[in-house]
Structure formats: C-alpha cells, structure tokens
C-alpha cells in the first residue's frame, strides 16, 4: 500500500471489509483528517466491484447531513499514490469511465468521525436507558430522512455502522452525537440494480423481512432496521436470534418477538408502541417515514416528562431567552406574578368570576394600573406600562387559571343537563346506553348468521362447495388449517373419478349441485391441483424450517424437493435451480404416479420462481484460459494442464461458464488425448 493516496497521507488502518480497507488519512495541505476507503487493484479490475464502488461514491455525494459521514474526495491513483483524474470513479461529467490500469487503486475519502460504535457500547453496557435509546433514534431519523430525501436506502443499518461521539458534560447519560456510516451496500431509488434478482444484502439480525427474501427494498426497509436497533438498545438483545443466519431471517419473516417491556419494564408504553410498529412484518404497517418516527419518539418523551413531573431539558434555556434567539445578557425577566387577594380566591373557589379578571379589564385600565409602579427597582413609564398591558392581555397572569376555567365550564354543562326533560335523562344513563349497544351487536350477529348459508358435512358437499371451502381456508394464514382443507375438500376431488363420486354422494344426501360440463370438470380439477400444490409447497418449506418436528421424506422425490427448498432459503439459488432441473430431467411427465406428478408440478413452479439471468464469467477465468493457451504454445504442457484442471474444477457447476468449459476441455484433450478429464483441481506439483 503506498504511503499516500492523492492528497491524503495514510497514518494507520481503521478496518477492512468486503469492499476494501479503510485508513486514517491526513490532507497534506489542510491537515484535515479523513477516513480513506481503498479498493484494491485486483478488485478495481473487476467490472462488478468497480461499478459498485462508483455507486457508493455517487451515493455519498448526494448526502449532506451532520449525522452522516460526508463526502470529501474520490478518484484513482497509481502505485505511487499519484492521482489519475481520467479514471476517477464517479467523476462528474465523465460520460464514460476509462478502464483502470493494472496497478490502479480506487479510493473514497469521507469525513473522519471520532468515537466508538454503538456495537462497542452495547457490548460494554449491554443495553441503554430508554431515554438514551430515544435520543439515539431521533438522531438516526435525522440521518435517514436526509438519505431518503436524496433517494438513498442504506440497507445495512446496524450498531456497528453507528458512531457515537461524546458531547462532554452537556450530555450526561446520553449517547452523544450519532453518525451513520458505511453506505457501501446502499441502493439508489431511481438507479438500476447491480445485484441479481433475489440477492440478499445486509446483516441478518437487523434485516427487514422483504429484504430477507431478496425483494427490492425502499425506505421502509431502513425503518424496520431502525426498529431492530432500538429494540437491541432498550432490551439488550436483538429482536430475533438463532443458530444460523437462515434461522434468523426466517424469524424476521414469520416469528414474533418478545415485548420490549419484558426486558425493560421502565420503558414507556408509547416508546414500546413505536418500536413494535417499526418491526411490523408488512411495510404498509410501519410509519410513513423517518420524520414521523422522530416526532413520535419526541412526543413520547414529552408525554412521559409530563406524567412524571420531570422538567424539560431545555426549560432553563427557554426561560433565559436562548430559544428565541435573544442573548442571555440581553434577556429581560418578566415581572413576578402578584399575589391575588384572598377574597378573589374564595370567590373563584365558589365559582364566582372575580371582578379583576383580564376579560373584564381593558388594556387602558391595565396600563393605568401599572403606570408608576416599581418593577425590580425601576419605575415604569407610561409607554412601558402600555407595553406591559399588551403583554398581560397576551399572557394573562391574573384571574382564573386554565383548570378553573375548565371546572367552571363543566359545572355549567352539568347544570344545563339537569334542566333537560325526563326522557332525555333516561336515555343518557350509562346502563341504558350499554344495553342498547349490546342489543345492536346481538342483532348484527344474528343477522349475519341468518344470511350466511350453512354448509353440509364434507361427505354431503357438492363439488363447488368443496372447492369454495378449500379456497376460504387457504385465504387464512398458513398452518394446520391448510393441510386439513386439503384432506377434507381437495383430496376427494383429486381422487380417481373423484368428481363423479362427490356428485353422487351429494345427490344421495339430498344436496344435488349443478351438473358440470366436461369443461367445468377440467377447470375444477385444475383449480383443485393448484390449491393442493400450494399446500404441499408450504409443507415442504415447513419441513425444512423445522426439521426436528418434520417426518422423514417418504421418497426420493420429496428429498430432492426439500434439498432445493433448503438451498433457496440459504440464498444458493443457482444450486437450487440445478437440483430442480436434474429432478425434472430424471423423471418422466408420463409417469402415472399422482404424487410424482404433483412433485413435478411443484418443481416446475419453484424453477420458474428461481429463473434468473446467468451472470457473466469473470475476467479471471478468461485470463486463465489465455495463460493455458500461451503455456501450450510455448512448449510448457505441464503448466497448461495445471491451469486447465483448475478452471474445469472451479467452473464445472457454473451454467454461465459453459462456453469457457468447452474451450478448456478441448484444449485439455489436445494436450493429452488419452487422459480422462479430472473432476477436481489437482494440487500443483512442488517446484511449479
């Protein structure tokens, strides 16, 4: 690594990840510190990594917020660290990015943020006080709102990407200043995707359910991750845990987390409600945006302060004039509230309006009464008195307070109620209203039961009733009701001559249905098969997710389908697609076995869901094949065979490398026509 990158002198390594290494750098002219992220030359030559790095540069350029590590510079440098402006990734106005040289290094410089990560803090303290967690959430919302307004989804919000910078004595017990970092996997709303369909990017413990399935994400995905972070701060544990990432992702999709107050009983219900709403499975059930979350968290703190009588943190500053922009030394204190006569207080307690209330006094009267009085040792002039009068009208300090006014209004309302007639008073009684509501509910339930047709037992149902009952059951959440509906309503229809048997049984029971035409019979069978296949696919996924509770596979076909489901859930979609293709090729569509036919239909449906465009073969494979050709042409067949064996072993199962594999195998046979093709890469001999 060169000692400098462009204008930055590299001091020490801060960390590393999948997209490069981060160093602490100092600008050689300004002395400003920066976090310099460097993409190695080997990765910079790969188009996919180079495009993703350029995407990160484009992302951070858009963001300008004190809670986000801001953009400073970017570009490419040679082996000595000299800037190469023509190959700068993401350079504005560069219509086409030039191809980097073999030793070029791409870099991105961001504002350096001092402090520790939230992950380090949680490992040390396990959890945060709920007020500190709310403060953290409000600051994160500020960063997310800025990112979302710029069209950026972070996609990897987690404790290790949040840096806490202490504020000193001004923030006792707080989290300090929060900075959101690492937009390396961020996605622009309007930009094309660099990952293939179904690609899962993020951290399992803080990943939204829709992100876990590889679907396209939006800002609601970041809000779910924010809820998981707040849950971990308040409770000391993430909302879902498991033995593997796959288990955690499945819990995000289908599991139910414990209530935060189980771990933190002092957490206010309003804060708990915000966290639970953020962790909703459906994006539509989460708050609208980060600003709404920030406002609700702040309101929850104010509500708790009011309930407990805790003074607001900024009350002293507001009273001194700071909140209005007036310097503290120029702020004029308001006059002390005068003591009210005892007679007026007795009249107020008796419900009599005192004669000296603001509503009964004009501004001129107040001004005359204040003129010439002494205020903190100074005598008020006539103009000052009129100003005080206006202030008194806007902010009354005499007369009945808000509680007294409300009490008097309630007393008057009760007096007016007593003047109503006996019929009105009868219907205003609580027990009468409750009885009327109960009668209304009972009548509605009775009407609904009378309107809903009563279905006969399954043995007496018509074909249409069986199909309708199965559809209604499958509209519910997946569970035992699905399997029961399949056995009770779909199995009779799918049995050999099942529709004829159902029609005969229903007619003998006095429940004849409409006669079905051949087309209607075929349509009914097709719909019944689709519903039964849906139930069977759910049972396969359940068996993979809960292997301890599932029965062993009953045949080889079921075993291979479970294997394909497992590979799909673990993210290995190409391997799952290969398993399904092999299964379909090895079985016959003409086989009379009905269970095999169903397994083939399920395999075809799963394969259709997994169909993705094949990725391009990397430049490394093309270069290796060229090296093997050069070695063969220069009279070094041993080296050529070793390279070819490695290529064949690495890409044997990659459908995108079919052309490359054909060329490699042809060249391998030409070198040793009598030797069989190796299946695995051979270890290089010593000295090669």
The string of pLDDT tens digits covering residues 400-438 is: 555 555 556 655 655 555 555 666 667 777 888 888 888
Residue 606 has a pLDDT of 87
Q: Is the pLDDT of residue 124 over 80?
A: yes
Residue 118 has a pLDDT of 92
Measure the CA–CA gap between 255 and 247, rounded to whole angstroms: 10
Residue 625 has a pLDDT of 86
For residue 306, give the 3-state DSSP assignment.
helix
Residue 21 has a pLDDT of 82
Q: Which of 78, 86, 156, 622 is catalytic?
A: 156
φ/ψ (deg, to 5) at 363: -60, -35
For residue 537, give the 3-state DSSP assignment.
helix
Residues in binding site for ATP: 37
Classify residue 414 as left (phi > 0), alpha (psi -120 to 50) or beta.
Answer: alpha
Q: Which residues contact 562 (CB under 8 A, 6 or more apart)?
A: 540, 543, 544, 553
Identify the CA nearest to 292 among candidates 142, 152, 174, 162: 142
Q: What percent of the chain has pLDDT over 70?
A: 69
Identify the CA nearest to 620 among candidates 39, 19, 38, 45: 45
336-349 average pLDDT score: 43
The string of pLDDT tens digits covering residues 527-572 is: 998 999 989 888 888 888 887 777 888 888 888 999 988 888 887 8
Residue 620 has a pLDDT of 80
Q: Is the pLDDT of residue 334 over 70?
A: no
For residue 106, give the 3-state DSSP assignment.
strand
Is 156 among the residues known to form the active site? yes
**Lowest mean pLDDT across 167-176, 362-371, 494-503:** 362-371
Kindly tell me the number of DSSP H helices and DSSP E strands found in the chain.
Answer: 28, 13
Decide if 603 contacts 564 (C-beta within 8 A): yes
Residue 239 DSSP one-character state: S
* 89/537: higher pLDDT: 537
Measure the CA–CA gap between 266 and 272, rounded to whole angstroms: 10
Q: Is the pLDDT of residue 580 over 80?
A: yes
Classify residue 90 as left (phi > 0), alpha (psi -120 to 50) or beta.
Answer: left
Residue 679 has a pLDDT of 42
For residue 403, give the 3-state DSSP assignment.
helix
Identify the CA nearest to 334 among candidates 282, 382, 391: 391
* 687/99: higher pLDDT: 99
* 52/474: higher pLDDT: 474
Decide if 156 contacts 224 (C-beta within 8 A): no
Q: Is the pLDDT of residue 103 over 90?
A: no
Residue 92 has a pLDDT of 39
φ/ψ (deg, to 5) at 17: -155, -165
Q: Which residues of 338-350 are buried (b: 16+ CB within 10 A; e: fewer)?
A: eeeeeebeeebee
* 134/47: higher pLDDT: 134
The string of pLDDT tens digits covering residues 195-228 is: 333 334 457 888 898 887 777 788 899 999 999 9
Measure the CA–CA gap between 137 and 133, rounded to whole angstroms: 6
The string of pLDDT tens digits covering residues 627-664 is: 888 888 888 888 888 888 888 888 776 666 777 888 88
Residue 265 DSSP one-character state: T
**Lowest mean pLDDT across 195-209, 342-356, 510-524, 606-620:** 342-356
Q: Is the pLDDT of residue 231 over 90?
A: yes
Measure the CA–CA gap between 399 and 393, rounded to whole angstroms: 11
- CA angle 626-631-632, nearest 5°? 100
φ/ψ (deg, to 5) at 182: 65, 80
13-31 average pLDDT score: 81
Residue 223 has a pLDDT of 95
Q: What percent of the chain has pLDDT over 90?
A: 15
* 349/229: higher pLDDT: 229
Residues in binding site: 37
Residue 298 has a pLDDT of 93
The string of pLDDT tens digits covering residues 456-487 is: 788 888 888 888 888 888 888 888 889 888 89
Residue 393 CB coordination number (10 Å) = 14
């Amino acid at each position: 690594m060169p000692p400098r990158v462009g204008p930055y002198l590299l001091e020490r390594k801060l960390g590393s990840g999948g997209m490069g290494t981060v160093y602490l750098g100092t600008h050689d002219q300004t002395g400003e510190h920066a976090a310099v992220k460097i993409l190695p030359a080997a990765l910079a030559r790969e188009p996919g990594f180079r495009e993703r790095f350029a995407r990160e540069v484009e992302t951070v350029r858009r963001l300008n917020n004190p809670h986000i590590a801001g953009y400073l510079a970017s570009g490419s440098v040679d082996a000595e660290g000299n800037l190469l402006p023509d190959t700068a990734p993401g350079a504005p106005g560069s219509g086409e990015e030039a191809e980097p040289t073999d030793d070029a290094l791409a870099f991105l410089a961001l504002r350096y943020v001092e402090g520790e990560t939230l992950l380090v803090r949680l490992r040390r303290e396990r959890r945060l006080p709920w007020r500190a967690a709310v403060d953290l959430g409000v600051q994160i919302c500020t960063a997310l709102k800025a990112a979302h307004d710029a069209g950026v989804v972070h996609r990897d919000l987690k404790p290790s990407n949040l840096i806490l910078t202490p504020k000193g004595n001004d923030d006792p017990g707080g989290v300090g200043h929060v900075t959101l970092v690492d937009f390396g996997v961020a996605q622009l709303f309007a930009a094309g995707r660099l990952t293939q369909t179904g690609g899962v990017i993020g951290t399992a413990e803080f990943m939204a359910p829709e992100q876990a399935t590889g679907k396209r994400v939006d800002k609601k995905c970041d809000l779910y991750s924010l809820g998981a972070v707040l849950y971990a701060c308040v409770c000391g544990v993430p909302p879902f845990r498991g033995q593997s990432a796959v288990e955690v992702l499945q819990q995000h999709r289908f599991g139910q987390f414990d209530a935060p107050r189980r771990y933190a009983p002092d957490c206010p219900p309003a804060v708990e409600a915000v966290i639970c709403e953020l962790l909703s499975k459906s994006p539509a059930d989460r708050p609208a945006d980060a600003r709404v979350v920030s406002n609700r968290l702040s309101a929850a703190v104010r509500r708790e302060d009011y309930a407990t009588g805790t003074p607001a943190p900024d009350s002293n500053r507001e009273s001194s004039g700071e909140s209005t922009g007036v310097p503290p030394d120029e702020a004029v204190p308001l006059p002390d509230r005068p003591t009210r006569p005892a007679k007026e207080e007795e009249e107020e307690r008796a419900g009599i309006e005192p004669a000296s209330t603001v509503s009964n006094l004009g501004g001129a009267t107040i001004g005359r009464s204040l003129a010439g009085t002494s205020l903190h040792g100074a005598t008020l002039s006539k103009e000052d008195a009129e100003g005080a009068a206006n202030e008194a009208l806007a902010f009354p300090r005499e007369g009945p307070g808000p509680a007294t006014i409300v009490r008097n209004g309630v007393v008057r309302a009760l007096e007016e109620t007593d003047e109503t007639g006996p019929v009105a008073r009868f219907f205003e009684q609580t027990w009468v209203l409750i009885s009327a509501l109960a009668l209304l509910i009972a009548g509605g339930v009775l009407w609904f039961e009378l309107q809903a047709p009563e279905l006969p037992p399954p043995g007496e149902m018509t074909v249409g009733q069986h199909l309708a009952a199965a559809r209604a059951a499958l509209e519910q959440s997946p569970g035992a009701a699905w399997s029961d509906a399949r056995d009770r309503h779909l199995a009779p229809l799918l049995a050999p001559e099942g529709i004829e048997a159902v029609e005969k049984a229903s007619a003998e029971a006095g429940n004849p249905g409409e006669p079905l035409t051949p087309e209607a019979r075929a349509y009914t069978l097709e719909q019944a098969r689709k519903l039964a296949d849906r139930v069977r696919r759910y049972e396969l996924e359940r068996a993979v997710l809960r292997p301890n509770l599932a029965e062993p596979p009953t045949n080889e076909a079921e075993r291979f389908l479970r294997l394909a489901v497992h590979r799909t859930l673990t993210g290995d979609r190409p391997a799952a697609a290969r398993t399904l293709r092999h299964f379909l090729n090895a079985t016959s569509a003409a086989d009379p076995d009905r269970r095999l036919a169903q397994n083939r239909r399920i395999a075809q449906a799963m394969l259709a869901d997994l169909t993705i465009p094949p990725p391009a073969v990397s430049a490394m494979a093309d270069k290796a094949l060229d090296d093997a050709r050069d070695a063969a042409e220069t009279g070094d067949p041993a080296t050529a065979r070793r390279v070819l064996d490695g290529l064949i072993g690495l890409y044997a199962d990659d459908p995108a490398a079919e052309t490359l594999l054909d060329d490699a195998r042809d060249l391998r046979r030409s070198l040793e026509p009598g030797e069989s093709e190796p299946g695995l890469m051979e270890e290089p001999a010593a000295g090669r």
